[in-house]
Amino acid sequence: MTQTAINPTRSQNYPEWYQQVITAAELAENSPVRGCMVIKPWGYALWEHIQANLDKRFKATGHVNAYFPLLIPLSYLEKEAEHIEGFAKECAVVTHHRLKDDGQGGLIPDGELEEPYIIRPTSETMIGEMYARWIQSYRDLPILINQWANVMRWEMRTRLFLRTSEFLWQEGHTAHATAEEAMAETKLMLDVYADFAQNFLAIPVIKGEKTESERFPGAVNTYCIEAMMQDGKALQAGTSHFLGQNFAKSSNITFLNPQGELGHVWTTSWGVSTRLIGALIMTHSDDDGLVLPPSIAPYQIVLLPIYRNAEEEAQVLAYCQELQKSLQALQFQDEHLRVHVDKRDLRGGEKTWQWIKKGVPVRLEVGPRDIASASVMLGRRDLDPKNKQKLEKVALTTDITSILAEIQHNLWMRAQQRLQKHTHEIHHQQDFETFFSGGDICDTDCRGGFALCYAADVPEVEAIIKPLKVSARCMPLDDNTEGPCIFTGKLVRGRTVFAKAY
Amino acid sequence: MTQTAINPTRSQNYPEWYQQVITAAELAENSPVRGCMVIKPWGYALWEHIQANLDKRFKATGHVNAYFPLLIPLSYLEKEAEHIEGFAKECAVVTHHRLKDDGQGGLIPDGELEEPYIIRPTSETMIGEMYARWIQSYRDLPILINQWANVMRWEMRTRLFLRTSEFLWQEGHTAHATAEEAMAETKLMLDVYADFAQNFLAIPVIKGEKTESERFPGAVNTYCIEAMMQDGKALQAGTSHFLGQNFAKSSNITFLNPQGELGHVWTTSWGVSTRLIGALIMTHSDDDGLVLPPSIAPYQIVLLPIYRNAEEEAQVLAYCQELQKSLQALQFQDEHLRVHVDKRDLRGGEKTWQWIKKGVPVRLEVGPRDIASASVMLGRRDLDPKNKQKLEKVALTTDITSILAEIQHNLWMRAQQRLQKHTHEIHHQQDFETFFSGGDICDTDCRGGFALCYAADVPEVEAIIKPLKVSARCMPLDDNTEGPCIFTGKLVRGRTVFAKAY
């Protein structure tokens, strides 16, 4: 049996493997605060790269950033009925604004607030209030604002990155003069997310619309990108909501059109969160730990100097630093290469395995013999750790960017093939049930995955799938085929993706 | 009398002028949440540039970013006695984790927490708890982590950017094996802040140490950079704290040294906040509104197309876009120029004044006549609005970066001269009192400013200065002179800067 760096392996215990990958890569850990995580430097660097790349895309599509208050008056949340219904069960409530002595050497809350505040679970109501003040006429439209922020939803069962009480995200909030414009914005941002997931994170996604029961509380339409994890479960990686005039009405956001008529604006909201890091882990990592696409890796290349004495050390470090400098001058995806020299006083094997577990795409070992032959030993994270390749130093600087591009492409292809392999068209309710109870309904090795079928968006279907712990993930866009619902027999247009989900 | 874009002017009513500059530049406004502001896109763009520039400096000095929870268990804050004493009076307390029907159609807090949480006013105690888990031996040291975050201190009297209940900041938290290393880190970050303030924000600052009563709650030494606003008041623009072993002891952060002995680590913390935007406004702006140094201006150059008909419009816009492209290829302070073409359908005068009030360093007017003579009309924010300069198009691309550098330098020089002019050495208590009650103690026009004098750091002096609404701002570093305290007559080493302060 092969030894792996992560125990258990994916096939032995997938949820525990996930935790162990995070621990081994030092991405995050649970904090003393219920359900809240500490994002450690290596994990936070992933978020910084996500932020930087997405932020460029938001700005390229005409958006600007702003910042709105962390706290929301309770009465604001109450304005939109479905919205408060969706969040009342899981919100942190601020009731006091100072502490006082309890007379026994301790402190207790003091200064009760007239109206409690909620720590934002999302900011539609607060931002709606401000938009109502800012918008008078069609000349003030559109408003295209994004916010990078922390939000809080008091989750009962939490998992690092996937579901935490506090998480980091961005929330876009836009206001438009017409329904058409707002819908175009909603779809544009869905495309931005899909392109980002595929080309930056190397995560293939299905773009679709949510069914009624899965919609954002208060939205008219919710669109999403859904990704498939290695255990066949779905993970919602981003959402874009067409809010119609619901929030405009509850927050009274009105404007005068060019004809001088008063009407309500049309709004959208859209967001992705630190959950994307969970998706990244579960899409690419293997039984040796984290695997990072070069696009997002905090270091794309780590140089590992090998030496036995002070003389060799000086020689090897000089060679490494020269190499680092020439590599840093190169670019991958329009950014200079991120190259690190690991000078720590640790055994070589230990160092190598630390960087494997941290998912660094390329490792370069450099010892006196490599210097003598003007070469390096190259290890790739997308290949077996034992599979090392001798590369001439001159070839390195000409080839390294294509090697990184190849790694990026390989990770993408693996994930893309997995998604295709584990997505099955299903035509009968019986097959649907067999599929999701782990049975074999086709000639491929199908343990879990996505079921693509005609299904009516009605409570009756919800009732059938719920006991299977399956949910409708989305109705893929641009599917104009028609067929009978496999549950009700009703003719429906377009199919729905079902899956177990994170 | 000259008309100004901002009313009142600085000399008429300084605090109201400040508010009006913010409103006119659309930087921020008060939100419906007590003491919390909304940072509008133009204001947030300033914060983004502050973040980007500082973040580079932090990384260049070996720091990494991470993220710690928003909420802090009450018992954590209580661990450090001075610390909780400093923050108990002004903290937002979370006591419940959901809402329930009140039976009358409203909602009330439900699910009381066993232990209340405090929204972080600063994160020493939470980060200390994590460091205690992460650090075992000297090999784990130093830890050099920074966090970009929102924090909350329930202020009773708030002012946009200067003092708000919620604000954005960064907080660096480092742990070291020796006192010397921790002190070197404390001083290093003070230097980083001073260099950033002077070279990026064009704000001259005095580096110094806080007196005992002005120290951060729990710190052994607090160092700061102090800036002088145009009304002669001081503004603390950044602080760096040597925490000794105080927090290490209260959080029990221990490590084994190379000799195998167990000891407590030495920690530091340091931060700057959105307050810097207040400092920026009050250092450079004038009676026509915001004035921005080119380094931080969201747009450094705005092109203002002038035309009377569709034909001219096409010609002028094409010319502007060509100009924009060639300007964007140039660099200022290692970044590509940020150039905007204002195509809005607004009267030219209105447009021009909007950009003046927003502080854009350079305006370029382009009409058919300018095109005919292959030139532009250039207006500079550091000069009188009426003072426009005809510049040949060819000269523009060669000269514009030196024009921007000149503006940056001019703003710096004005602020530097103001600081020098209004800083006075004072040798007698009587002069001190006269100085701060608006009297004339010297031959310059001194209304307010900084008083530099020998003063003992004792409660007795505090008692004298407090009624004057004056505080000790800092004891400038590297002042090895000696003299008698002007209040007590005691011989003291090094002088202290006193001022009224924000």
Polymer length of chain B: 502
Nearest CA-CA distance, residue B123 and chain A, Å: 12
Positive or negative CA dihedral for B298, B304, B305, B308? positive
| pLDDT for residue A445 | 52
Task: Name the residue among A461, A479, A481, A460 with its Cα closest to residue A470.
Answer: A461
Q: Tell me which DSSP letter residue A72 carries.
A: E
DSSP state of B468: G
Nearest CA of chain A to the CA of B101: how many Å?
A: 10
Q: Do B45 and A64 touch (CB under 8 A)?
A: yes
Q: Give the Cα separation of A208 and A206 in Å (integer).
A: 6
Q: How far is CA A367 from CA A313, A314, A348, A355, B253, in A?
A: 9, 11, 11, 18, 38
Contacts of B227 (CB under 8 A, 6+ apart): B197, B203, B204, B205, B206, B234, B235, B237, B279, B283, B419
Residue whose pair of structure tokens reads 């072993």 in the numeric block:
B245
Nearest to A154 among B69, B97, B107 (CB): B97
- The stretch B36-48 carries a mean pLDDT of 98
CB contact under 8 A, A88 and B78: no
- With CA atoms as reference, the chain B residue closest to A42 would be B66
Q: Give the tokens for residue A484.
A: 């009978």
10 Å Cβ neighbour count for B228?
30
Residue indicated by tokens 């447009």: B351
pLDDT above 90: residue B185: yes
Interchain pair A31, B65: CB under 8 A: no
Which residues in chain A have their CB less than 8 angstroms from residue B67's CB?
38-39, 44, 47, 168
Q: Are B45 and A65 an interchain contact pair (Cβ–Cβ within 8 Å)?
A: yes
**CA–CA distance, A65 with B50 (Å, rounded to integer):** 14
A338 contacts in chain B (CB < 8 Å): none
pLDDT at B81 over 80: no
For each of the domains in chain A, give its residue range(s) and CATH number, in order of start: 14-284 (3.30.930.10), 301-402 (3.40.50.800), 423-499 (3.30.110.30)
- Cross-chain CB nearest to B109 (options A37, A93, A98): A93
Give the whole-angstrom CA distance, residue B472 versus residue B328. Answer: 46
**Radius of gyration, alpha carbons of chain B:** 26
Angle (CA) A25-B71-A103 rounded to 5° is 135
Asked whether the beta carbons of residue B95 and residue A91 sit closer than 8 angstroms, the reply is no
Ranges of residues in chain A with a pLDDT under 70 are 1, 439-447
Pick from A36, A78, A126: CB nearest B71: A36
Please check the confidence at residue B309 and state whether its pLDDT lies above 80: yes
CA A81 – CA B48 distance, rounded (Å): 35
**Shortest alpha-carbon distance between residue B85 and chain A (Å):** 10
The pLDDT value recorded for residue B9 is 95
Q: Which of A40, A71, A273 to mutate to test the interface with B (most CBs of B within 10 A)?
A: A71
Tell me how many degrees the CA angle A121-A124-A125 measures, rounded to the nearest 5.
Answer: 95
For B353-365, the pLDDT digits (tens) are: 999 999 999 999 9
Measured CA angle at B119 (ends A73, A108), to 5 deg: 95
Residues of A in contact with B166 (CB under 8 A): 69-71
Smallest Cβ–Cβ distance between B66 and the set A39, A89, A108 belongs to A39
Q: Which helix (H) or strand (E) segment is B134 a member of?
A: helix B124-134
**CA proximity to B182, closest of B245, B129, B134:** B245
Q: How far apart are CA B283 and CA B405, in angstroms?
A: 18
The predicted structure's pLDDT at residue A347: 86
b/e sequence B157-183, b meaning 16+ C-beta within 10 Å: ebbbbbbbbbbbbbbbbbbbbeeebbb
Question: A76 vs B117: CB contact, 8 Å cut-off?
Answer: no
Confidence check: pLDDT of B411 > 70: yes
Two tokens at B170? 């960064």
Q: Do A45 and B65 touch (CB under 8 A)?
A: yes
> What is the pairing mode between strands A301-305 and A339-341?
parallel
- What interhelical angle do B393-421 and B310-328 show, nearest 10? 60
Mutation target for B interface from A27, A30, A51, A70: give the one with most B CBs within 10 A.
A70
Which among B74, B130, B166 is the nearest to A69, CB-wise?
B166
Peptide bond into A142 cis (omega under 30): yes
A294 contacts A337 by C-beta, under 8 angstroms = no
Q: Answer whether B107 sits within 8 Å of A98, measured CB to CB.
A: no
Distance from the A48 Cα atom to the nearest Cα atom in chain B, whole angstroms: 9
- In the prediction, which pLDDT does B78 show? 85
pLDDT score of B108: 94
How many other β-carbons are positioned within 10 Å of the β-carbon of residue B315? 16
CB contact under 8 A, B45 and A37: no
Instruction: Give me A224's structure tokens.
Output: 């999403």
Quick one: pLDDT band at residue B485, thresholds 50, 70, 90? very high
Nearest CA-CA distance, residue A142 and chain B, Å: 13
Please tell me the total number of residues recorded for chain A in this structure. Answer: 502
The residue in chain A having the minimum alpha-carbon distance to the alpha carbon of residue B27 is A66
Measured in angstroms, the CA of A387 and the nearest CA of chain B are apart by: 31
Give me the helix-helix angle, B275-284 and B393-421, nearest 10°: 100
Contacts of A90 (CB under 8 A, 6+ apart): A121, A153, A154, A155, A156, B97, B98
State phi, psi for B198 to the nearest 5 degrees: -75, -45
For residue A86, the model assigns a pLDDT of: 82
C-beta of residue B453 within 8 angstroms of C-beta of residue B479: no
Q: Mean pLDDT throughout B402-424?
A: 97
Determine, for residues B88 and A100 on separate chains, whether the beta-carbon distance falls below 8 Å.
Answer: yes
Residues with Cβ within 8 Å of B50's Cβ and at least 6 positions away in sequence, in order, are B200, B201, B272, B276, B277, B296
Nearest-Cα distance to chain A for B90, in Å, is 5
Contact B92, A112 (CB under 8 A): no
Distant-in-sequence, close-in-space partners of A390: CB < 8 Å, separation ≥ 6 = A375, A376, A377, A378
Q: Is B283 exposed, middle or buried (0-12, 13-18, 19+ CB in 10 A)?
A: buried
Instruction: Kindly report the nearest CA distance between residue B16 and chain A, in angstroms.
Output: 22
Name the amino acid, one letter, at B322. E
- Which residue among A47, A48, A66 places its CB closest to the CB of B44? A66
Which candidate, A429, A435, A422, places its Cα nearest to that of A484? Answer: A429
| Burial label, B14 (beta-carbon count in 10 A; 0-12, 13-18, 19+) | middle
pLDDT at B447: 64
Contact A173, A58 (CB under 8 A): no
- H or E stretch covering A494: none
Contact at CB, B98 and A93, closer than 8 angstroms = yes
DSSP B35-54: T-EEE-HHHHHHHHHHHHHH
Cβ burial of B349 (10 Å; 0-12, 13-18, 19+) is exposed
How does DSSP assign A396-416, residue by residue?
A: HHHHHHHHHHHHHHHHHHHHH
Q: Is B368 exposed, middle or buried (0-12, 13-18, 19+ CB in 10 A)?
A: middle
CA A464, distance to chain mean position in Å, is 30
The reply to whether residue A45 touches residue B64, judged by beta carbons under 8 angstroms, is yes
In this prediction, residue B446 carries a pLDDT of 52
CB–CB contact B94 A99 (8 Å): no
Rounded to a whole number of angstroms, the distance from the CA of A333 to the nearest CA of chain B is 18
Return the residue in A94, A167, A173, A351 with the most chain B beta carbons within 10 A, the one to mutate for interface testing: A94
Q: How far is CA A361 from the centre of its chain?
A: 20
**Residues of chain A contacting B92 with CB distance shorter than 8 Å:** 71, 94, 96-97, 117
Compute the count of residue pairs across chains A and B with CB atoms less than 8 Å apart.
176
Cβ-nearest to A98 among B73, B130, B154: B154
Say yes or no for a CB contact (<8 Å) between B88 and A98: yes
Asked if A93 and B88 come within 8 Å (Cβ–Cβ), the reply is no
CA dist list (Å): A370 to A305, A306, A328, A365? 10, 10, 20, 8
Residue that is written with structure tokens 């404007």 in the block: A255
Tokens of B301: 């150059």
Shortest CA gap A410–chain B (Å)? 30
Entry pTM: 0.96
Residues A107, B68: C-beta atoms closer than 8 Å: no
Whether the CB-CB separation of A44 and A50 falls below 8 Å is answered with: no
Question: Who among B33, B48, B145 is closest to A71 (CB)?
Answer: B33
The answer to whether B31 contacts A130, with C-beta atoms less than 8 Å apart, is yes
Residue B74 Cα, gap to closest chain A Cα (Å)? 8
pLDDT in tens, B55-69: 999 999 999 999 999
ipTM score here? 0.96
Task: Give the CA dihedral B123, B129, B134, B138, nearest 10 degrees.
Answer: 90
**What is the reported pLDDT for A183?**
98
Q: Which residues pair with B175 in a beta bridge?
A: B143, B267
